[in-house]
Amino acid sequence: MPDLPGMEHPEPKLRMQSIHKSFTVGGKREPVLAGVDLAVEDGEFVSIIGPSGCGKSTLLNIIAGLDQPASGSVSLDGGQDQQRLGRVGYMLQKDLLLPWRTVLDNAILGLELKGVSRRQARKQALQLTESFGLSGFEDQYPFALSGGMRQRAAFLRTMLLDQELVLLDEPFGALDALTRIQMQEWLLNLWDSMKSTIVLITHDVDEAILVSDRVYVLTSRPGKVKMVLDVDLPRPRDFEAITSLQFTSLKAKLLGALREETVKNGAETWP
């Protein structure tokens, strides 16, 4: 979304202002987030990247409503301090499928919790299993599925609810390299067709550039925004974009910023 000067901006989907948070670890107060400012427009794909332990997951927990900031404000669709649980989709590296439910019944979990009848929910989910690469596996239990399929089933569960904002916390981190590339391309297509707003946390610089409209780089702990990088690569993108000159120069910028943080941090290694 180009930022035209003078144009009246509607409220962004998500706005976070000077978010602070600290944890008490072993009796010691440890600041984790030190004033994070962040905005995500409707329909945007934004990535957050940063050194290990910079508080990325804490940030997502706050966005999802699982955790509250010590200070600062979070607004979803312009509303302040409302209940965000149930409005923001959240997906972790672990697929968190319920082992006692079949793929289909895992997918409809969110709808079921909203009070949709099982039959209706199943019907709705069945229309999507094809595009999630799960057709033929609807009645399988999760343990029988490969890692990539389980992750897609978890995606289906997240997307089926049609929540306003979807948070992805290293969703492909546990997959092998080849599956990860396939999943990234698949996610791009999915995002294109579903027009959802996504915030992705990743350790993978290539992944961040490939999928995002914007990349936020966080500093090492306590985390705050170090750099915001606009990714103006043409869409639709596929994996070949990775070798383009434009991509490489963006990657150099990102890696440079990250290296500064890791060096500052001393002991931490990157990636």
Partner 1 sequence: MAVEGEHLDGDHQGGLDEGRGPGRVRSGGRAGLDMFKGWQSWLPALLIVAGMVSLWEWVVAVNDIPHWKLPAPSSIGGELWQSRGMLLGHTWVTMEEVLIGLAVALVSGVLLAWLISLSRTLERVIYPSVIASQTIPIIVIAPLLLIWLGYGMQHKVIVVALISFFPIVVNTVDGLKSADPDVMNLLRTLGADRWQVFRKVQVPASLPFLFSGIKIAVTVSVIGAVIGEWVGSSEGLGYLAIRSKSQFLSERVYATVVILSLMGIGLFLIAGALERALLPWYHNQRRTTAAGED
| Angle 230-204-183 from CA coordinates, rounded to 5° | 95
Q: Give me the least distance between CB of 60 and partner 1, in Å please.
A: 8
Q: Give me the least distance between CB of 93 and partner 1, in Å please.
A: 4
Within its chain, how far is the Cα of 195 from the centroid? 15
Angle, to 10 degrees, between the axis of helix 147-160 and the axis of helix 118-129? 120
Q: Which residue's structure tokens are 């010590």?
A: 70
Q: Give me the least distance between CB of 233 and partner 1, in Å please.
A: 26
CA distance 25 to 44: 35
Q: Give me the least distance between CB of 119 and partner 1, in Å please.
A: 18
Of the pair 59, 231, the CB lying nearest partner 1 is at: 59
CA distance 53 to 222: 9
Q: Give me the least distance between CB of 9 and partner 1, in Å please.
A: 28
Q: Of 211, 182, 202, 155, which Cα lies nearest the Cα of 54?
A: 202
Q: Which residue's structure tokens are 């697929």?
A: 95
| DSSP character at residue 223 | B
Of the pair 157, 226, the CB lying nearest partner 1 is at: 157
Q: Which chain residues interact with partner 1 by CB under 8 A?
A: 23-25, 32, 50, 52-58, 60-61, 64-68, 85-90, 92-96, 98-101, 109-110, 112-114, 141, 143-144, 157, 161, 169-170, 173-174, 201
Angle, to 10 degrees, between the axis of helix 147-160 and the axis of helix 177-194? 20
Of the pair 23, 239, the CB lying nearest partner 1 is at: 23
Of the pair 52, 182, the CB lying nearest partner 1 is at: 52
Q: Give me the least distance between CB of 178 and partner 1, in Å please.
A: 18
Of the pair 15, 56, the CB lying nearest partner 1 is at: 56
Q: Is residue 167 a contact partner of residue 199, using CB atoms and an 8 Å limit? A: yes
CA distance 103 to 143: 10
Of the pair 167, 181, the CB lying nearest partner 1 is at: 167
Of the pair 33, 209, the CB lying nearest partner 1 is at: 33
Q: Is residue 101 a contact partner of residue 180, using CB atoms and an 8 Å limit? A: no
Q: In what helix (H) or strand (E) does residue 156 lie, and over which residues does it extend? A: helix 147-160
In Å, the largest CA–CA distance within the chain is 55
Q: Give me the least distance between CB of 147 and partner 1, in Å please.
A: 8
